[in-house]
Amino acid sequence: MLVVLVAATAAFVLLHVAPGDLYSTAGSGSGMSPEVRATLRAHRGYDLPVIQQYVHWLRAFVSGDFGWSASQNRWVADILIAALPRTLLLMLLAFCSSLALGMGIGAWQGARAETRGAKADATDRVVSLVTLFVYSLPEFWLALALMFCFVHWWPVLPATGVVGDSYAYMSASEQVVDRVRHLALPWLSLTLVGTAVFTRFQRAAMRDAIREPFVRAARAKGSRESAVRWQAWRTSLSPVLSVAGMLFPALLGGAVFVEVVYAWQGMGYELLRGIAARDYEMIAAIVVIGSAMTSLGSLLADVAREFVDPRVRAS
């Protein structure tokens, strides 16, 4: 709760330190007369002292009133009710798929660390270089590259939007297929980056775990290699789950650019619209929700680490 409060305060302060607002000449109010602009700013409370604005805003936010989006002429809560499920769907699918792929590939690489031979080393280097390359790519660039591949060069997927123009006239099964096709490219963009992150951390953790004394002891007792590697993999999960707890909310940052590229109307898409319009209420609400997701991700990561690693529970 304290983290969310600090994030809310920081968002409010930074937004009000920045020059201009929705009704300033730098915003959408450039065509208004000074009198109309002053009336609208007074109606929104922008003429009050900053401390008083903060108290009013925080009191309303705690009570569940996220304010009115003047740029869209809608309640912010209504916008978020429509946008949040889309972002959560995209993030959850990308997180689960990238976690499964990254842990599988990274564990396979780490277990092969003891294998000697040019072929094994070359395979490990190629996979490591590929994951490093994908990890270093900006999300928006990767999204544009995938759009070029699957929309322009090999046109099998739609470029933008949540559903197609003829969605309302489709049957139920066709609507499901249409939604999946529109989800494919945003999901793939975030999954590739997340998989690269998890692969690198899982590989390092697995290499450390495979060299632990208990692994040597289990092998000396004649345990099956599959059972030994399974136990080593469980031991290596603790640092990977810590990264997973931070990567889930971090996907929200990557989703901002991915959603804009593909016009996926989620929270990231709405955030950039709010920034362009200097919509304080919209920006602050999304920032606070992002901080709450960060705290929740860290909490879930701690719970998962205690579940998979007995040493954490013992401590």
Q: pLDDT tens across 145-167, in order? A: 999 999 989 999 998 999 988 99
Q: What integer pLDDT is reported at residue 7 of this predicted model?
A: 80
Lowest mean pLDDT among 109-118, 167-176, 189-198, 222-231: 109-118
Tell me how far CA of residue 153 lies from CA of 34, 173, 252, in angstroms.
51, 27, 29
pLDDT category of residue 123 using cuts at 50, 70 and 90: confident
- If asked whether residues 275 and 138 sit together in one domain, one would say yes
Q: What integer pLDDT is reported at residue 21 of this predicted model?
A: 67
Q: How many domains does the chain have?
A: 2
Q: What integer pLDDT is reported at residue 133 of this predicted model?
A: 92
- If asked whether residues 60 and 146 sit together in one domain, one would say no
Q: By CB neighbour count within 10 A (0-12 exposed, 13-18 middle, 19+ buried), where does 160 fall?
A: middle
Distance between CA 16 and CA 30 in Å, rounded?
19
- If asked whether residues 18 and 105 sit together in one domain, one would say no
Spatial CA neighbour of 250 closest among 291, 304, 192, 302:
291
Check: CB of residue 212 under 8 Å from CB of residue 232. yes
Residue 97 in any domain: the answer is yes
Q: Which of 65, 89, 112 is the last residue of a domain?
A: 65
Distance between CA 253 and CA 245 in Å, rounded?
14
Spatial CA neighbour of 43 closest among 65, 22, 64:
22
Residue 272 in any domain: the answer is yes
- If asked whether residues 261 and 115 sit together in one domain, one would say yes
Residue 70 in any domain: the answer is no
State the average pLDDT for the chain.
83
Residue 303 has pLDDT above 80, yes or no: no
- If asked whether residues 25 and 140 sit together in one domain, one would say no
Q: What integer pLDDT is reported at residue 125 of this predicted model?
A: 83
- If asked whether residues 33 and 89 sit together in one domain, one would say no
What are the structure tokens assigned to 94, written together?
């990308």
pLDDT digits (tens, 9 = 90+) for 84-102: 999 989 989 999 999 999 9
Residue 74 in any domain: the answer is no
The CATH number for 102's domain is: 1.10.3720.10
Check: CB of residue 91 under 8 Å from CB of residue 190. yes
- If asked whether residues 150 and 239 sit together in one domain, one would say yes
Torsions phi, psi for 74 (to 5 deg): -145, 160
What is the arithmetic mean of pLDDT over 178-185?
95
Residue 294 in any domain: the answer is yes
Q: What integer pLDDT is reported at residue 248 of this predicted model?
A: 73
Residue 73 in any domain: the answer is no
- Residues 165-192: b if buried by 16+ CB within 10 A, e if exposed: eeeeeeeeeeeeebbeebbbbbbbbbbb
- If asked whether residues 35 and 168 sit together in one domain, one would say no
Residue 30 has pLDDT above 90, yes or no: no
Q: 251 lies in which domain range?
A: 79-314
- If asked whether residues 160 and 237 sit together in one domain, one would say yes
**Which residues fall within 8 angstroms of residue 188, CB to CB, at 6 or more apart?**
146
Stronger pLDDT, 1 or 237, i.e. the higher one: 237
What is the arithmetic mean of pLDDT over 14-34?
66
Whole-model pTM?
0.84
What is the arithmetic mean of pLDDT over 211-228?
82
Residue 230 in any domain: the answer is yes
- If asked whether residues 25 and 142 sit together in one domain, one would say no
- If asked whether residues 183 and 142 sit together in one domain, one would say yes
What is the arithmetic mean of pLDDT over 200-229?
85
Lowest mean pLDDT among 39-43, 79-83, 136-140, 143-147: 39-43
- If asked whether residues 175 and 283 sit together in one domain, one would say yes
Residue 71 in any domain: the answer is no
Lowest mean pLDDT among 12-21, 22-31, 225-234: 22-31
What is the arithmetic mean of pLDDT over 38-47?
78
Q: Which of 10, 37, 65 is the last residue of a domain?
A: 65
Q: What integer pLDDT is reported at residue 226 of this predicted model?
A: 81
Residue 119 has pLDDT above 70, yes or no: no
